[in-house]
Structure 1
Amino acid sequence: MAKAKKSDAKKLCILAGAGKFPVYLAEFARGKGFQVIAVGPEGRLEPELEARADKVRTYRFARLGQLLEILKEERIEQAMMAGKIDKRWLYQPGVEFDEMALKTLKKLPDQKDDTIMSIVTAELESHGIKILPTLDLIQEWLAPEGSFSAIIPEEKQWQDIKFGFRIAKEIGKLDIGQTIAVLDRAVLAVEAIEGTDLCILRAGQITAGAVIVKVLKPNQSLKYDVPVVGLSTVLSMIQARAKVLAVEAQGCLVVERERMVKLAEQNGIALVGVKGD
């Protein structure tokens, strides 16, 4: 596996999507001595990214040819994908696909996340852009096994965690989503196109006390869509009155860990990393 190291990389490009993950990745990479260029869809990126990356370039969403032009202009040879490319954007008014994007879409047997991302990754790599797994750089962000907050799940909640983990893996196998909300070994909500935070909020519309489980999809490529939780996850749980967040140990990234743990503990939320059976 190719490694992103200072010795063999003058630049590191972050193919950025929505959310805080690209912001923290850019800050971390610069701290490691990389010159960071972030490239993402205009109007979709966190404003903070401007301050954390050395340069930010934007393209119009669904303009794959424009993205490649920018990468060539910046002489990008390797990149990491970080942040959410929200499939709901595909259905918004005014989205215009360029010729390259349309040709790429025609190759798709379906529009599942992994299908889209694998085709896009292959297209970029065919133009000489090596896509590196983010874990090459941020192994220490992986969730540990066991509790990583002072609040420990109760026995009944552990039963929900085990139940939810199995169901989440099956949903992931179908490439539907990575997150599930359960209570009393019943499924309250399943993540689909809307994303983790809205899945959590939907569970909260039904009842308080949910156990949220997020996992790595079986056979998932580590080049894209690695599951991430952070402060926004806990904020959604507070709003939904959920009580446990269980993530796959060594399979899910935890960003803003210190702030996340502090906020969770202040609100009676248990945080735990779990391994499958």
Structure 2
Amino acid sequence: MAAMTKLGIIAGGGQFPLLVAKAARDNGRETVVVAHRGESWPELAEVADHCQWVKLGQLQKLLNFFHRHGVTECVLAGTITKTRMFRDIWPDFKALALWRRIDARQDDAILRALAGLLADEGIQVAPSTLYLQNLLFPRGVLGQKKPDEQQWEDIRFGWRIARQVGALDIGQCVVVRDRAVLAVEAIEGTDAAIKRGGELAGELAVVVKVRKPNQDFRFDLPAIGPRTISGMSEVKAAVLAVEAGQALLFDPEETVRLADRAGIAILGLSEEEGGELSCRP
């Protein structure tokens, strides 16, 4: 049965790879983890049945490790600091060959190319939420604060812009105020975009984070957690609107507690027919 086979985990940074490894183990899977130096948490080695540390770009080493342990299914979990590909990458011949085949070096193109290479090697990429559907962002207002009408206008405006930005595979998050775009997430990531846009707003910025059109659930899901709220609090942002069911929510109780303390409205939305946004649970 598939539930008893080995699961490969290509781990980036943050707590998500650790949660994936624990959930896989709880579901009877033997875990074979490839962890990235400078990104992955050291605790992964304690949870994994087998763990190999690599530098970013050591693709052949990753493949050899998976093949040695008979891995035929894997997940990609966790973040890789995107700016590292300009200053701290050790590409081997396999990685260089893959890199040269990618026309647009953007998230989806890179990850789809990697998934294609893994498939060619007999390793299928499964959704990163394979055993963690409970981490998907819920629909509804999660804390005590609710957006006012002006903020709802900014949410609707930001939602349209974020969807268009996502279609270009640039990012998944925008920061707006008074229907003006203050920051668009690009290679620097969500936290940096919030800081930049929030500082331009002065206060009361609205942060909108949505899935990309044709989002591939195997990788690169948007993620929200306490650090997101702490960053918003530092720039006195007012609202965080996230597409429900299309993003990950880490440490929900702590995230909501921080939002309530900072007076930040945090809500999960769905797009209804006709483009209307709804936060009804």
What TM-score comes out, normalization by structure 1 length? 0.92
- Relative to structure 1, the CA distance from residue 36 to residue 273 in structure 2 (aligned partners, 3 Å threshold; closer, same or farther) is same
Contact 1:24 1:255 in 2 (8 A): no
Match of 2:181 among 176, 180, 187: 187
Instruction: Report the number of matched residues.
Output: 271
1:79 correspondence with 2:74: yes
SS of the equivalent of 2:122 reads coil
Match of 1:8 among 3, 21, 27: 3
Contact 1:164 1:213 in 2 (8 A): yes
Task: Give ranges in structure 2 of 5+ residues lacking alignment.
Answer: 276-281
Match of 1:150 among 144, 165, 169: 144
Match of 1:115 among 109, 114, 120: 109
User: How do residues 237-256 of structure 1 correspond to structure 2 at under 5 angstroms?
Assistant: 237-256=232-251
Structure 1 residue identity aligned to 2:119: E
Task: Give ranges in structure 1 of 5+ residues lacking alignment.
Answer: 1-5
Structure 1 residue identity aligned to 2:224: V
Q: Deviations over 1:77-124 (max 9, x none)?
A: 11111111232111115x331111111111111101111111111001
Q: Deviations over 1:179-212 (max 9, x none)?
A: 1111111111110000111111112221211111
- Relative to structure 1, the CA distance from residue 52 to residue 213 in structure 2 (aligned partners, 3 Å threshold; closer, same or farther) is farther
The worse-fitting range, judged by mean Cα deviation, of 47-56 and 181-190 is: 47-56
- Relative to structure 1, the CA distance from residue 156 to residue 48 in structure 2 (aligned partners, 3 Å threshold; closer, same or farther) is farther
Match of 1:219 among 183, 191, 214: 214
Q: Deviations over 1:215-239 (max 9, x none)?
A: 1100121111011111221121122
Identity %: 39
Match of 2:252 among 248, 257, 267: 257
C-alpha separation in 1, matches of 2:230 and 2:49: 30
Match of 2:55 among 55, 60, 85: 60
Structure 2 residue identity aligned to 1:39: V
What TM-score comes out, normalization by structure 2 length? 0.91
Q: Which residue of 2 aligns with 1:3?
A: none
C-alpha separation in 2, matches of 1:58 and 1:168: 35
Contact 2:3 2:28 in 1 (8 A): no
